[in-house]
């Protein structure tokens, strides 16, 4: 798409079509895409990647945790250490925002100056718990079958 010569309404129509292709939901220009479509986790990230590719948008400034979340998995570690998207107030993305960004060719939102822990200690806890459960299962199986 020729962003420089494309009109805002034609870009907006292309964006709403892209949203509908990814979500199966038709959205209004000022709708909160994430909220209205129910796209989350991988679906949201695939949609954003598709938008970036289709409109040639530089995504260097994109901070995913302000706009979406992660795939719906059990995250016990998040009880102690919240993941990035739970550390910030979500900023809605609307088709009109995406049209503006497509026209500019670069992701731009005014993000608040927030210190976010991106070390993902929640995932470390989940991995340790999974390893403990696996090891416990091996020990119980070994005892059951007389290996220990």
> DSSP letter string over 69-99?
---S---GGGGTS--GGGSS------HHHHH
Q: Are 81 and 121 in contact (CB under 8 A)?
A: yes
Domain boundaries, the chain: 8-144
Q: Which pLDDT value is given to residue 48?
A: 97
Q: Which pLDDT value is given to residue 96?
A: 97
pLDDT (tens digit, 9 = 90+) per residue, 96-119? 999 999 999 999 998 888 777 777
SS3 category, 57: coil
Q: Which pLDDT value is given to residue 72?
A: 66
pLDDT (tens digit, 9 = 90+) per residue, 24-69? 999 999 999 999 999 988 999 999 999 999 999 999 999 988 888 7
% the chain with pLDDT above 90 = 48
Q: What is the CA radius of gyration of the chain?
A: 21
DSSP state of 145: T
110's CB contacts (< 8 A; 6+ apart) are: none
Per-residue pLDDT band for 2 (boundaries 50, 70, 90) equals very low
Q: How high is the mean pLDDT of the chain?
A: 86
Residue 1 has pLDDT above 50, yes or no: no
């Amino acid at each position: 798409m020729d962003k420089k010569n494309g009109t805002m309404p034609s870009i907006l129509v292309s964006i709403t079509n892209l949203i509908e292709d990814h979500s199966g939901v038709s959205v209004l220009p000022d709708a909160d895409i994430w909220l209205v479509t129910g796209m989350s986790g991988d679906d949201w990230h695939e949609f954003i990647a598709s938008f970036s590719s289709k409109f040639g948008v530089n995504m260097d400034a994109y901070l995913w945790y302000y706009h979406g979340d992660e795939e719906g998995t059990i995250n016990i570690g998040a009880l102690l250490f919240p993941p990035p998207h739970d550390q910030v107030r979500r900023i809605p993305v609307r088709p009109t925002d995406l049209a503006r960004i497509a026209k500019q060719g670069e992701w731009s939102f005014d993000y608040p100056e927030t210190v976010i822990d991106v070390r993902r200690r929640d995932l470390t806890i989940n991995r340790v718990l999974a390893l403990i459960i696996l090891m416990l299962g091996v020990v119980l199986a070994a005892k059951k079958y007389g290996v220990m």
